[in-house]
């Protein structure tokens, strides 16, 4: 969530040292895609996404606290409570749109309304800025039209339009990779265990 008085998260302090965090919108989208995938070593790949090649402390507390802060930054919304959400590789469900599947529509919407070329903003535009602009997209933008279409109740559509709307809903239907139950399985405890394993492996490699 964007703040008009504070600076968006870009660094984390741990044991009096500062570590840069890459929260560009494209990095976060890669993280969300990783969280929904079946790729092995998700935690290690997530660490590299956000921290790059920095030398990080061999302390599970660093990773646990860092990812808690990162996920709070990613998922916090101004008009809803996130108090029940866990952190880790778990993310807010996206039931009406997909950053991957709807990439064309999102790109066209930003270009149409803000005259912003998102391809030129990769690695630069902070996630919080991206989300604020995304939430401000008007109803006539491509992505908002698709979202509206997906929400339409066919029983409320006039008979002469129902077949066409149904076909459009089928065409624009989201491809769901993981169930909510599977996403919930990536819990706080699972993440802590994973980082403990990383910590032990790093210590062994350093001997």
Give kind and range of the element (H or E) at residue 19. strand 17-20
| 88 Rama class: left (phi>0) / alpha (psi -120 to 50) / beta | left
| Per-residue pLDDT at 148 exceeds 50 | yes
Q: Is the pLDDT of residue 41 over 60?
A: yes
User: What's the rounded mean pLDDT across residues 29-38?
Assistant: 86
Please give the pLDDT value at position 200. 54
User: What does the pLDDT average to over 137-145?
Assistant: 97
Give the pLDDT of residue 196: 53
Q: What is the pLDDT of residue 17?
A: 96
Determine contact, residues 89/46, Cβ cutoff 8 Å.
yes
86: left (phi over 0), alpha (psi -120 to 50) or beta: beta
pLDDT of residue 182: 38
Question: What's the predicted TM-score (pTM) here?
Answer: 0.79
* pLDDT score of 13: 96
- pLDDT score of 82 more than 80: no
Concatenated DSSP letters of 33-94: HHHTS--SSHHHHHHHHHHTT----S-HHHHHHHHHHHHHHHH--TTS--TT---SS-----
pLDDT band (50, 70, 90) for residue 64: confident
pLDDT at site 40: 86
């Amino acid at each position: 969530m964007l703040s008009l008085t504070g600076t968006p998260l870009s660094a984390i302090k741990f044991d009096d040292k500062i570590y840069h965090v890459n929260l560009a919108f494209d990095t976060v989208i890669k993280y969300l895609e990783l969280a929904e995938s079946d790729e092995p070593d998700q935690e290690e790949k997530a660490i590299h996404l956000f921290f790059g090649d920095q030398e990080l402390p061999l302390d599970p507390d660093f990773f646990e606290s860092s990812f808690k802060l990162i996920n709070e930054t990613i998922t916090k919304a101004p008009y809803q409570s996130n108090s029940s959400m866990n952190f880790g590789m778990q993310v807010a469900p996206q039931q009406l749109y997909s950053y991957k599947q709807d990439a064309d529509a999102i790109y066209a919407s930003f270009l149409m309304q803000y005259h912003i070329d998102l391809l030129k903003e990769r690695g630069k535009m902070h996630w919080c800025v991206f989300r604020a602009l995304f939430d401000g997209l008007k109803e006539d933008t491509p992505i908002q039209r698709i979202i509206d279409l997906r929400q339409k109740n066919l029983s409320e559509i006039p008979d002469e339009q129902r077949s066409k709307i149904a076909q459009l809903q089928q065409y624009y239907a989201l491809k769901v990779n993981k169930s909510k139950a599977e996403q919930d399985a990536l819990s706080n405890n699972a993440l802590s265990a994973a980082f403990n394993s990383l910590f032990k492996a790093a210590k062994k490699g350093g001997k």
